[in-house]
Amino acid sequence: MSAPGWVICQYCDALYRARALAPAQLARCASCRAVLGRGGRLDAGRLLALTVAAGIVFVIANASPVITLSAHGQFNHATLLQAVAAMLRGSDAAIGVMVGVTLFVVPLLQIALLAWVLAFARLRRRAPAFVPAMRVLQLIHPWSMTEVLLLGVLVAIVKLSASLSVITGAGTYAIVALTLLITLIAKRDTAALWELGGR
């Protein structure tokens, strides 16, 4: 645990003496029940492997069409970035910005920064620019919306299949996989990374 031996709850300011936790043990705040810490060492190697997998799936999810539509012999498809670009060109550029940031920029940054920090953590070292990287990760965390995209794709498929024929493909399945992987890597408690070797 951290050097001075105190743990402070970020939700209610309760103060506790730090205690070593056994693997799979969970420390909860006595007054507001927030999770204060988890036992067990962070397995940087495994987390890095998942992050690299997320990076590969991210490329597939963005390179292939999310949905393809066909109607009377005409085909139309859209990748995520094409959807963003279409919004940015139109009169509702604000929508393009919101969608582009939450579905492309933030997940990409999360994957890249986590890979950077974890690659060094595997060698029990702090990455160069560790503190800014961790700060950015914390700042962008609430704005990562891949799981909402998955639900959005499902809603769009139901909506469109009423009048047109909808074709799903690699891009659609890549979003399912990406949602799982991002949940595994980015929603993980990375507090243990702060305890890596000094400044």
Partner 1 sequence: MKVARARDFGLIGCRTCGLANVAAAGSCRRCGTPLAARKPASIGRTWALLLAALLLYIPANVLPVMYTSSLGTGSSSTILGGVVDFWHAGSWGIALVIFVASVAVPTVKFLVIGTLLVSSQRCSSWARLQRTQLYRAIEFIGYWSMLDVIVVALVCSLVQFQFIGTAEPRVGIVFFGLAVVLTMLAAMSFDPRLIWDAPAARRMGEG
Q: Contacting partner 1 (CB under 8 A), which of 27, 48, 69, 117? A: 69
**From CA 180, how far away is CA 190, in angstroms rounded?**
17
Provide, rounded to whole angstroms, the least separation between the CB of residue 52 and partner 1: 25
Asked whether the CA dihedral 167, 146, 150, 192 is positive or negative, the reply is positive
Are 115 and 51 within 8 A, CB to CB? yes
**From CA 101, how far away is CA 107, in angstroms rounded?**
9
Which tokens in the block code for residue 4?
């001075």
Span interacting with partner 1, options 20-28, 41-49, 108-116, 161-169, rule CB under 8 A: 161-169
Return the number of other C-beta atoms located less than 10 Å from residue 48's C-beta.
Answer: 19
**From CA 42, how far away is CA 49, in angstroms rounded?**
13
Residue 167 makes CB contacts below 8 A (sequence gap 6+) with 67, 68, 69, 70
Q: Is 165 in the site for partner 1 (CB under 8 A)?
A: no
Q: Contacting partner 1 (CB under 8 A), which of 47, 67, 118, 140? A: 67
Span interacting with partner 1, options 38-46, 54-62, 112-120, 127-135, rule CB under 8 A: 127-135
Q: Contacting partner 1 (CB under 8 A), which of 52, 53, 86, 115? A: 86
Report the site for partner 1 in 21-50 (rule: CB under 8 A).
30-34
Chain residues in the site for partner 1 (CB under 8 A): 2-4, 6-15, 30-34, 66-67, 69, 71-72, 74, 76-78, 82-84, 86-87, 90-92, 94-96, 98-99, 102-103, 131, 134-135, 138, 142-143, 145, 148-149, 151-153, 155-156, 158-160, 162-164, 191, 194, 199
